[in-house]
Each structure stands twice: as C-alpha cells, then as structure tokens.
Amino acid sequence: SALTNWPIQIKLAPPVAPYFEDADLLIAADCVPFAVAGFHQFMEGKVLLIGCPKLDEADFYTNKLGQIIKDNNIKSVTVAHMEVPCCFGLDALVKQAVNTSGKDLEVKTAIFGVNGEKID
C-alpha cells in the first residue's frame, strides 16, 4: 500500500500532524480510489485526505483544509476527482482553502472518468 497516514477522512484528520510536515498533499474525492484501478500509484509519496463535496459541508472542508495548510509546511496540493458535476466542488473548495491559508501554493487537479481513465 502507498498509504502513509491515518486517518484519511478530512473530517477526522487532525489539523497538525507529523505526516503533514513537508508533505505533498493529495485530496481525493471519495469515489476516486474505487474507480481508478491504479490509484495507489497516484498516491505514491503523497499524504492522502479524502472527502465528498456533495455529501459533506463545503464550509467545513474549506476551513479544515485551510487550517491544515496554514499550520503545516505543505509543499504541494493536488486534487483528484471524478468527471461528474458534483465532484468539481472539491477543486473549488480546496483552492479557496489554500487562498484563505495565506500560503502561495498552486493547486494541481487530476480528473478521472467514471471508467477510471485520467481525463485531465
């Protein structure tokens, strides 16, 4: 397994943890690991957090992720989500979290199709 941290749910993740220091943060929509057969290869070397922007409160995610990014030395942020409309909210709220953290980090995005292929 390429998993390097626990817990992985955004709701359960502590705001500060040793695994966040100098981390390449991967924030994935809940469905991605099930749709993408080789998702563990995509996780390699990254700290994973997962959540669903449709089922959970976007404001909570924005605040929690903003705090994690602000209070830890995060090196990079990548968002992985599905091509379906409800998933695009994750990208927007992560970008907002980075913005509110005051850190100058580019947010990379990986979009996957429902068949598991990487679209973008």
Digit-coded pLDDT (tens) for 20-30: 999 999 999 99
Is the CA virtual torsion 119, 79, 89, 30 positive or negative?
positive
Q: What's the alpha-carbon Rg for the chain, to the nearest Å?
A: 13
Please indicate, yes or no, if residue 84 is contained in any of the structural domains.
Answer: yes
Question: Peptide bond preceding 15: is omega within 30 degrees of 0, i.e. cis?
Answer: no
> Is 59 inside a domain boundary?
yes
Q: What pLDDT shows up at residue 91?
A: 94
Determine, yes or no, domain membership for 29: yes
Whether 91 is covered by a domain: the verdict is yes
- For residue 109, pLDDT over 90 is answered with yes
The total number of structural domains that make up the chain: 1
CATH code of the domain covering residue 81: 3.40.1360
Write out the residue range of the structural domain in which residue 53 sits. Answer: 18-112
Average pLDDT, the chain: 96
Residue 101 confidence (pLDDT): 96
Report the Cα–Cα distance between both ends of the chain, in Å, rounded: 24
Model-wide pTM > 0.85: yes
pLDDT of residue 120 exceeding 90: no
Pairing mode of beta strands 74-82, 47-51 = unpaired
